[in-house]
């Protein structure tokens, strides 16, 4: 058997990859307004980063208006958004690439300005720390969310199923369920944000219930081999905490494995999403949980070309997702393949704006 490398083929369910350098989902806040609709600039951005047989995971995309928490982020719940995403998928497929859509509901990370003055929702009425962004692109103190009623959850689950059908209609090759980074499904998972006393709170088996019900719904809306899930054990972004992380995520990952989905996407806690290179004392996520999932694993979180190659060679992951390096290097795959220097990224242009810091990074000579 040929030894796996970053540039050997890999199958993630129905996704047949020519190489294992994956573009991570990256919020860029450049959807057309009004309507949060992807447009030609977004199509150009993704097409620049597409390679034959390479996988792009499109930015987190709200499954409903209630799921929005940042201005300028795209949705996948209106006909206009479906048509906008077709521009993106057509452009990626024209380059021979693959693209999946990450399905998103931010939960308590949102602000009432997105919801006609109503508070955001969460597993429990626990206010997150710090500030968040309003619909007017201003920073404001976070707000105490409203705990979702059990009676509301079937409709919530259905929004994910509907979003999956819309993603398929938009031409995506699959979907990734965002159950990480302190957003809604993560808020149901972890006991720092879930103080419920009903069948969705308390015991680990109850707290994994909603994410698994959503996962089953999106599998039913498409097929398991077109579905991935992203988890962030030990992550503290968004004020998250859990009293027994290994037990919780071990149970969640074992249950996820039973679904025979396309892949599990794990975020290493080495790098905090809100800073440049904040190192934590968290255990190595892929080393801790890899053996509990029988299918392919994508690792993410501060990897370099060299550390990614090691991750693949030691079978700790089957592919590695790069984020910030893909922002500033549209030809990242070829730069890694040919050991070329990388463009530095400009954090000031990550969120919102025009083509500057978005589609104007140069490819290597």
The 3-state DSSP class for residue 92 equals: helix
* Helical segments of 261-344, H only: 285-289, 305-313, 324-328, 332-337
- Whether 183 is catalytic is yes
Using CA atoms, how far apart are residues 101 and 17, in angstroms rounded to an integer? 16
Using CA atoms, how far apart are residues 72 and 204, in angstroms rounded to an integer? 35
DSSP-derived pairing of the beta strands 139-141 and 131-133:
antiparallel
Using CA atoms, how far apart are residues 31 and 29, in angstroms rounded to an integer? 6
Catalytic residue among 45, 46, 160, 183: 183
Tokens 């998103």 -> residue: 104
173 with 98: CB under 8 angstroms? Answer: yes
Counting runs of H as helices and runs of E as strands, what totals does the chain give?
11, 14
117 CB-near residues (< 8 Å, 6+ apart): none
Catalytic residues, which ones? 183
């Amino acid at each position: 058997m040929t030894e796996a490398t970053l540039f050997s083929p890999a199958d993630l369910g129905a996704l047949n990859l020519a190489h294992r350098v994956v573009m991570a989902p990256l919020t860029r806040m450049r959807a057309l307004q009004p309507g949060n609709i992807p447009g030609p600039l977004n199509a150009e951005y993704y097409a620049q980063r597409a390679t034959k047989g390479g996988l792009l995971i499109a930015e987190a995309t709200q499954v409903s208006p209630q799921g929005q928490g940042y201005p300028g982020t795209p949705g996948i719940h209106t006909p206009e958004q479906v048509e906008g995403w077709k521009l993106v998928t057509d452009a990626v497929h024209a380059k021979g690439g693959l693209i999946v859509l990450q399905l998103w509901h931010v939960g308590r990370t949102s602000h009432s300005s997105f919801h006609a003055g109503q508070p955001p929702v969460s597993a429990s009425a626990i206010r997150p720390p710090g500030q968040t962004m309003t619909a007017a692109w201003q920073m404001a103190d976070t707000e105490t969310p409203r705990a979702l009623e059990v009676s509301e959850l079937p409709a919530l689950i259905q929004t994910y199923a509907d979003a999956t059908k819309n993603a398929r209609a938009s031409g995506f090759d699959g979907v990734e369920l965002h159950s990480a980074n302190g957003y809604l499904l993560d808020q149901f998972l972890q006991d720092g944000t879930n103080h419920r006393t009903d069948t969705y709170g308390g015991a680990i088996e109850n707290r994994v219930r909603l994410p698994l019900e959503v996962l089953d719904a999106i599998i039913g809306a498409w097929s398991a081999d077109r579905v991935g899930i992203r988890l962030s054990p030990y992550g503290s972004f968004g004020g998250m905490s859990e009293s027994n992380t290994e037990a919780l995520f071990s149970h969640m990952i074992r249950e996820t494995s039973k679904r025979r989905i396309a892949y599990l996407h794990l975020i290493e806690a080495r790098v905090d999403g809100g800073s440049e290179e904040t190192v934590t004392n968290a255990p190595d996520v892929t080393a801790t949980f890899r053996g509990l999932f029988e299918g392919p694993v994508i690792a993410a979180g501060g990897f370099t070309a060299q550390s990614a190659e090691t991750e693949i060679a030691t079978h700790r992951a089957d592919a590695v997702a790069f984020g910030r390096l893909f922002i500033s290097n549209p030809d990242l795959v070829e730069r890694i393949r040919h050991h070329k220097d990388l463009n530095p990224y400009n954090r000031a242009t990550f969120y919102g704006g025009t083509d500057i810091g978005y589609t104007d990074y140069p490819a290597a000579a």
